[in-house]
Each structure stands twice: as structure tokens, then as C-alpha cells.
Amino acid sequence: MRKILASALLLAVASFAHPALALDSSGTPVVVTPLASRTTTASGQPITLPQKNVQVLVSTYDIAPSATLPVHRHPFPRYAYVQAGTLKVTNVETGNSNTYKTGDFIIEMIGQWHQATNIGDGPVRLLVIDQVEEGAKNTELRQ
């Protein structure tokens, strides 16, 4: 019991002293590296979640060098982690662009028309997380 209490106390102290370092149940260090903390999308909108039957979808995207995705929008939140490459995303309604590179986290705009282009020499690889109403799609192409 004393060993459990000491471990819990040590974990609590470590958490306050260095929030990116924790210990697993055996006392082995676990490094936690925060990647993003935001309350707005790439275009400054507040992040809003689906109101009913939320479904989480996780996908990977591989975008070839020089490829440009069609103009599209998302009715629900979409998050992407850039695992490799350089991606330029342009809001076609405002003309504003953001460039994302390996290690960046993207909180995509909701309901605004945009498109993305791989502007690097190699492929772009994204880990994409969507939060949608169950059974809904999260990409609408502009006609």
C-alpha cells in the first residue's frame, strides 16, 4: 500500500513539475508531446461539433507531388496531422492560404470552399479525423 501511495504521489509531483512527462504503472517514463490546442478552425471559426449521433472517422490521405484536390467544403469538423510533405490550403472564398508541413496539425474550416495543393517535392501524407453525424459524409465537392 505504501508503495502504491508513493508512486501516486511521485506521479502527481512529476505531472506538476513537468506536464509533458508522466510515468506508466511500472514507473517507466512516458513522454507526452502536445501537438495542438485550439478553439478555432484555420479560418478563425469557432469549432462546433455535430449535434446528434456523433461518429468519428479516421483515415489516411496520400497526395502525390503537384496534385491539387478539387474545391470542396466540410459540413462537420475535420482535423489532420501532416505526417509527411508540404500542403498549401487556400480558402477560395477569401483567397487566404495556409501552408502546412510535416508535424503540423490542421483544423480545417467548416462550410467554406477551399482546396489543397501538394507544393513539396514528395508526397503529402495526412492522418485525418472527422467528426460527423452518424452516416453522413464530411466532404462536399463544388459543382
Query: What is the model's pLDDT at position 24?
Result: 62
3-state secondary structure 61-122: EEECCCCECCCEECCCCEEEEEEECEEEEEECCCCCEEEEECCCEEECCCCCCEEEEECCCC
Q: What is the pLDDT of residues 15-29, one digit of tens each?
A: 433 455 666 677 788
Domain assignments of the chain as residue spans, ordered by start:
2-31, 54-141
Q: Model confidence over 36-59: pLDDT tens digits?
A: 888 999 999 988 888 899 999 999
- pLDDT score recorded for residue 21: 60
Taking residues 100-122, report their average pLDDT: 97
Class of domain 54-141: mainly beta
**The predicted structure's pLDDT at residue 103:** 96
**How far apart are the C-alpha atoms of 36 and 58, rounded to whole Å?**
18
